[in-house]
Structure 1
Amino acid sequence: MDVFNCPNCNSLFVMIKFRDVCDACYKEEEAQYDKVYAYIRKKTNRTASMMQVVMETGVEERLIIKFIRTGKLRISQFPNLGIPCGKCGANIKSGRLCGNCGDSLRTDLQAFENEEKRLTEIQGNDKKNTYYMKDEQKG
């Protein structure tokens, strides 16, 4: 049994598999989810942006993002809702990075790996080209 402090209210609670907050905060989050879902479910609000949803429902953006990241709120039917890219903040539908930042990260990692390989080869070549001289005075 794991006991943690609730990140919202700091009260102690027993961590349950799918809950990262205490029961009271979980119930509050559920009420907030119901507000958001009721708002975006209306046909006239399906194209609302994240800022519009926040302004109209009063629910914090971080909580809406949590609903999206956990899969509780599926945004495939809501074209203007998304989560921010972890690097540049661009609006994305899933994952942590947008396509451009993901490509940039892959390029940087490949360059790092190539540099590591080059340095390893240089170190290997240095060992091949090391010569030892006999000390004439000792022997």
Structure 2
Amino acid sequence: MAMNLDNCPQCGKVYVKNNYNICPACLKGIEDQYRLCVEYLRKHRSCSMHELSEGTGVSVRMITRFIREGRITNREAPNVQTACEVCGGSVKDGTICDTCRMKLSKDMNHLKEDVLRRAEEERKKNPTFQIKDRDDNKRL
């Protein structure tokens, strides 16, 4: 029976592969950092991202990771915001700001319309006759 072994990307130790793709020791460290953040936010709900980082010793990058994973929410930390992955503006929830989300949605709707229009043009260029069309003509 072969065991799936890998090197931890954070510390380099060999570990048995798991769902988190890091060794148990590093996973425990991340969970400890998360608990520090949650405890600090319970006492200092209105702190900013940098105040949270300074108060806990947890890096801004790790706090951002917790927010993106949905582990720290806007309800728990209303003043802790991350940067939009598209424009760099501030984001309270998720990975992109409302402006970029609306633009993305608008672009997707235009893309759908274009695909439908092209399909309709193609259908007009190459008309086909199907048995169901013949049956519809008889009913008229």
Do these two structures clear the TM 0.5 threshold for a shared fold by scoring above it? yes
CA RMSD after TM alignment: 2.6
> Distance between the aligned counterparts of 1:82 and 1:15, measured in 2?
33
* Mapping for residues 10-89 of structure 1, pairs under 5 Å: 10-17=12-19, 19-42=20-43, 45-89=44-88
Measured after TM superposition, the shift of residue 16 of structure 1 is 3.5
Structure 1 residues 3 and 93, CA, compared in 2 at 3 Å: closer, same or farther? farther
Structure 1 residues 124 and 73, CA, compared in 2 at 3 Å: closer, same or farther? closer
Structure 1 residues 2 and 102, CA, compared in 2 at 3 Å: closer, same or farther? farther
Q: TM-score, normalised by structure 1?
A: 0.69
Q: TM-score, normalised by structure 2?
A: 0.69
Measured after TM superposition, the shift of residue 20 of structure 1 is 3.8
For residues 4-51 of structure 1, give each alpha carbon's deviation from its aligned partner in whole angstroms, at most 9, with x where no partner exists. 44232233323434x342112112223322332333232xx3211112
> Distance between the aligned counterparts of 1:75 and 1:7, measured in 2?
30
Q: What is the aligned-residue identity percentage?
A: 33
For residues 102-137 of structure 1, give each alpha carbon's deviation from its aligned partner in whole angstroms, at most 9, with x where no partner exists. 211111011111112222222233335xxxxxxxxx
Q: How many residues align?
A: 125
Gaps in structure 1 of 5+ consecutive residues:
129-139
